[in-house]
Amino acid sequence: MQEPKVGPIDDDTGTRGPDGRIGRARPKRLCPAEAAVAATARQAVRAAVRAGAVEYRRASILPRLVPVAPAEVADDSPAGTRRVLALLARALRSERRRGRAGHWSYDLNRHIGLRQAMLAETARLQAAR
């Protein structure tokens, strides 16, 4: 008697993609109650980030988020603010990448702090114009 061939395990958690792997073809649709909770959560996080951006103090918070020299912190010129924004953008990209990958070093509080600093520094640059 011949042994049955064992193929890939199929389950109903997703669909098979063009590369042969099993996964969801599109994000799961939420029921109306879950969608309402998700929308409320997004609004709450946005409000918290905006409130933190208003309370942002460059001299005390910026050195905790990105490695900057005291001279860079003290530089209030538009060019200095652009340099700080470039550092923050790079750090924010790295933090997002870690979060999406599920890396152990991802820190949600740092992510929120970076976003608050970006908003505050962008407002500072726009006010200088």
Q: Could you report the per-residue pLDDT of 66-112, keeping only the tens digit for each?
A: 999 999 999 999 999 999 999 999 999 999 999 999 999 999 999 99
Looking at residue 22, the DSSP 8-state letter turns out to be E
The mean pLDDT value of the chain amounts to: 85
pTM over 0.75: no
| Averaged pLDDT, 32-59 | 92
Q: Could you report the per-residue pLDDT of 68-78, keeping only the tens digit for each?
A: 999 999 999 99
- Residue 119's contacts (CB-CB under 8 Å, 6 or more residues apart) are 49, 50, 53, 56
Looking at residue 25, the DSSP 8-state letter turns out to be S
Dihedral of CA atoms 23, 24, 26, 28 in degrees, nearest 10, equals -150
Give domain limits for the chain: 33-128
